[in-house]
């Protein structure tokens, strides 16, 4: 394997520390062609679909990529914004807010966002950071709960890039923060503020993205970490066990996934006489198609059609100040031991000005 040619050594050039804020990804536009490209990359990942390639490839290319893109494009179109995909918009804003927050705390680091699938790719962002002199990179995942299908896949992508480099930067990974106090408090505050503005429903449903049940039996900690997040959030809100439910959404295929499933649970609650529910998606830190279309449209309709009277979706953390504070705390903890202070006060001031300028553009 040929390794990347390194630029000439620049003696005396300041070494930089960088943070990459990584999310799952999104198609570039809500069209069948764009969805086909995105799904081809996403569903080809063996971390996402653990089926032998000889069996999976004919299904993926012969059936799924012929049928699903058009259906998925219509769903994406229903939540698309003038700025683009909601996931892209919020991920970019979160990276800019994180840059500003770390700059205010005296950390003169580079901060970029990247997508595991789609653009900007992890490899392209790592190339950019390396060209800017980054010799230390913190990879910060947008997945609070660890899963092989998400977190480990992200690590795979970074390692694949590293395998092609001659000079590999120091790398650190934030694999999970499902029980981080700042993250839990940010979730709790978003719920409390919703209750203050709209009143409290009879039930709070906490919906997490699903994964095949077999991954739990194979040792993936995702299920347990989701339940710990839910338990800590319920404790922070003072909710008794009968006042909340933990469910799993976004099932794909015919295999058994983690249960209970979100939409059937909502239908069941309505059938039991529950008239109002609040729903939050703690595993998503940025609103996306899974929250805005699957939950706030499809799940809402299912609950109301089953006899429910009031359904309230509580938005993701997005760029809430308390979430950016928590994210900054997580990043700062994992940056410990790496030089991040500006070289002098002038550089410190310039760093703050850059951070403020980026924030002002939003």
Encoding tokens for residue 56? 């999976």
**How far is the C-alpha of 92 from the C-alpha of 102, rounded, in Å?**
16
Between the alpha carbon of residue 182 and those of residues 178, 228, 269, 283, 344, the distances in Å are 10, 15, 31, 14, 31
Cα atoms in the Cβ-side hemisphere of radius 13 Å centred on 39: 25
Residues with Cβ within 8 Å of 198's Cβ and at least 6 positions away in sequence, in order, are 312
Cross-sheet strand order for the sheet of 244-249: 244-249, 203-209, 276-280, 310-314
15 in a known ligand binding site? no
**How far is the C-alpha of 269 from the C-alpha of 258, rounded, in Å?**
19
User: ∠302-303-309 over CA atoms, to 5°?
Assistant: 135
Encoding tokens for residue 77? 């179109």
170 in a known ligand binding site? no
Annotated binding-site positions for Fe(2+) = 209, 290
Annotated binding-site positions = 209, 290
């Amino acid at each position: 394997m040929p390794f990347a040619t390194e630029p000439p050594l620049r003696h005396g050039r300041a070494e930089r520390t960088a943070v990459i804020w990584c999310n799952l990804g999104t198609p570039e536009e809500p069209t069948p062609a764009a969805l086909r490209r995105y799904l081809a990359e996403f569903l080809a990942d063996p971390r996402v679909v653990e089926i032998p390639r000889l069996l999976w490839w004919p299904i993926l290319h012969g059936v799924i990529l012929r049928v699903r893109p058009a259906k998925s494009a219509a769903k994406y179109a229903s939540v698309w914004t003038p700025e683009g995909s909601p996931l892209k918009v919020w991920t970019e804003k979160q990276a800019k807010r994180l840059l500003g927050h770390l700059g205010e705390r005296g950390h003169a680091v580079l901060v970029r966002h990247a997508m595991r699938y789609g653009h900007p790719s992890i490899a392209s962002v790592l190339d950019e950071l390396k060209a800017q002199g980054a010799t230390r990179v913190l990879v910060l995942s947008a997945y609070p709960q660890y899963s092989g299908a998400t977190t480990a896949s992200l690590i795979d992508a970074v390692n694949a890039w590293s395998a092609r480099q001659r000079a590999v930067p120091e790398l650190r990974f934030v694999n999970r923060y499902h029980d981080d106090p700042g993250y839990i408090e940010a979730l709790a505050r978003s719920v409390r503020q919703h209750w203050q503005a709209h009143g409290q429903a009879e039930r709070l449903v906490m919906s997490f993205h699903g994964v095949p049940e077999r991954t739990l039996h194979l040792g993936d900690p995702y299920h347990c970490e989701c339940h710990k997040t839910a338990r800590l959030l319920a404790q922070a809100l003072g909710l008794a066990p009968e006042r909340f439910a933990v469910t799993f959404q976004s099932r794909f295929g015919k295999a058994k996934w983690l249960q209970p499933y979100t939409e059937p649970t909502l239908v069941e609650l309505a059938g039991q006489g529950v008239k109002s529910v609040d729903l939050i998606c703690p595993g998503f830190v940025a609103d996306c198609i899974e929250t805005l279309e699957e939950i706030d449209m499809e799940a809402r309709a299912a609950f109301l059609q089953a006899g429910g009277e009031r359904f309230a979706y509580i938005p993701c953390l997005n760029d809430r100040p308390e979430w950016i504070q928590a994210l900054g705390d997580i990043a700062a903890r994992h940056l410990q031991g790496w030089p991040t202070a500006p070289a002098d006060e002038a550089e410190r001031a310039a760093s703050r000005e850059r951070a403020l300028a980026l924030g002002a553009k939003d």
